[in-house]
Amino acid sequence: MNKWQKLLVVIALIGAVAFVVEHKKKQGFACAGGICPLPSPDEASSVSPVVEPVAQQTAPLPKLLDLGAGHCVPCRMMTPILDELKITYAGKLDVVFIDVLENKEAGEQYRIRTIPTQIFFDAEGKELFRHEGFFAKEDILVKWQELGINLSNE
């Protein structure tokens, strides 16, 4: 195959992948580990939020908002990380999870294309950064530092 034929094959593959992704998005949110299928009616009623929203604080805090779904594998992998961040940085950081299959309006409000999606907000509610897919705890903490938010105990 010459260079042009290879280029045409690559372009055709990209087009086919884009078509499949768009088609699957109409059936459910794209999952960072693949397409997250819509749960059956039985599963839909059993899906519960991974992390409950934190009660209102006296002073506004930076917020990490994770939007996902209970049946999505990368979303479930985020659960222990979110739980640990919520406990470790209580009083310094709000950590909130929203299941976009239970709360479709949130998926639309935050323009979610892929789950999980993490959105970093400053204390005033301004979006600072957005990440799609699994996000390791260490990488989350580094990103907060890059954004100028100090979460250390100092």
The one catalytic residue in 61, 67, 75, 82 is 75
Question: Catalytic: 36?
Answer: no
Q: For strand 30-31 and strand 34-35, is the pairing parallel, antiparallel, or unpaired?
A: antiparallel
Residues in the chain: 154
Structure tokens at 31: 């999952």
Question: Catalytic: 31?
Answer: no
The one catalytic residue in 30, 51, 64, 72 is 72
Domain ranges of the chain: 44-146
- Digit-coded pLDDT (tens) for 6-58: 777 778 778 777 665 565 554 455 666 555 544 444 444 334 444 445 455 46
Q: Write phi, then psi, for 10 (nearest 5 degrees).
A: -60, -45
Q: Thinking of the domain 44-146, which architecture would CATH place it in? A: 3-Layer(aba) Sandwich (3.40)
**Which of 116, 145, 111, 110 minimizes the C-alpha distance to 132?**
116
- Digit-coded pLDDT (tens) for 89-147: 999 999 999 999 999 999 999 999 999 999 999 999 999 999 999 999 999 999 999 99
d(CA 124, CA 63): 9
- Looking at residue 55, its pLDDT comes to 52
